[in-house]
Structure 1
Amino acid sequence: MPGNNTFIYICIIVGLILQIIPMPPQIDIYRPDWLLMILCYWSMALPNRVSVGVAAICGLTLDILYGTALGVHCFALTIPIFIVSANYQRLRNQSMLQQAFTIMVLSLLYHLIVYWLQYWLINTEFRWRFFWPTAVTIVLWPWLFWLLRKFRRKFRVS
């Protein structure tokens, strides 16, 4: 059903917009990983439709939108999504608290990969504020999961 794919793509585009929307610098350091959370949800819910390839395209799009070296966000997004895709059955059966902890670890991995690649490419220095988005992501995950599941069932995306 073509409408099903359309809803998934709309969610991903909204995630990209939320990821890059301008915010004041004082608030921007707390920006959650919207795109990562949305990709993790769809990779858990429908691993045959959203997997590593979609994450790679989204990562390249983020690289272009952020103006970073091509491949930084692509590589950093594909690793967590590969882990989710490989373990989607286990993740589905976890409690919401366990899922939030898993998403936190994946978000930490994402930020560490981005930092590591930027360190080797442009010699950026380490700051602990790189990990603030992880704390916000773990708090927002249950709400985003509930919202996306509600819309997935409402629009019968399968």
Structure 2
Amino acid sequence: MNKNPQQTTLLMHLSLLCALLLTLLPWPSQLTIWQPHWLALLIAYWSLYTDDSRVMYVAFAYGLLLDVLMGSLLGKHGMSLVALSFLVTKSAKQLRMTSFWQLLIMVLVWLFNDIVIRAAIDWISFRYQPELLDLLPLLTAAVIWPWLKYLMDRCQTSLRTS
């Protein structure tokens, strides 16, 4: 484990702030449907590799912040990210010992669950009809996850050695 847990907490908050910025960056209109849910990817990572259940509180706080920044229904992202964090934390110990491909598949299942929760909230609130195109960010997440995991693992390793 890390010598200084405060450094890990700082890294977690910096990475989540970067995820918020990546979410708010404008994408070309043709690529918007492919934009991954950056915050969900990082919440999944931190829930998987942090032995602390406080990640659920952090997920809720950043979810509310995302709701405010995007002008969405207050609590929509907070609720979906807490559910994501809970599911990841529940099976984290077993999944840390699985293969890369099994972990990738589980991350995609968790992100699918996140999409379903947000779509259900939108359906109840605004009668939004989900489409298959709503699942395209899963393909982008499948490409991004290995690189994101590698980058975050490298950052964690450098914190441990410093």
Bin of the TM-score, shorter chain as denominator length: over 0.9
Contact 1:62 1:73 in 2 (8 A): yes
Q: How many residues matched?
A: 157
Of 89, 97, 101, the match for 1:97: 101
Q: Percent identity?
A: 25
Distance (Å, rounded) in 2 between the aligned partners of 1:41 and 1:50? 14
Distance (Å, rounded) in 2 between the aligned partners of 1:114 and 1:19? 16
Distance (Å, rounded) in 2 between the aligned partners of 1:51 and 1:6? 13
Distance (Å, rounded) in 2 between the aligned partners of 1:145 and 1:70? 29
> Structure 1 residue 78: deviation in Å?
0.9
Any unmatched runs of 5+ in structure 2?
Answer: none
1:88 maps onto 2:78 in alignment: no
> Structure 1 residue 47: deviation in Å?
2.9
Any unmatched runs of 5+ in structure 1?
Answer: none
Trace 1:87-126 onto structure 2 (pairs within 5 A): 87-126=91-130
Of 40, 52, 62, the match for 1:36: 40
Contact 2:53 2:89 in 1 (8 A): no
The Cα offsets for residues 61-101 of structure 1, whole Å up to 9 and x where unpaired, read as 11111101111111111111101111110111111111110
> TM-score, normalising length from structure 2?
0.91
Trace 1:1-158 onto structure 2 (pairs within 5 A): 1=4, 2-48=6-52, 50-156=54-160
Contact 1:43 1:50 in 2 (8 A): no
Q: Which amino acid aligns with 1:20?
A: L
Distance (Å, rounded) in 2 between the aligned partners of 1:50 and 1:133? 27
> TM-score, normalising length from structure 1?
0.93
Distance (Å, rounded) in 1 between the aligned partners of 2:122 and 2:149? 30
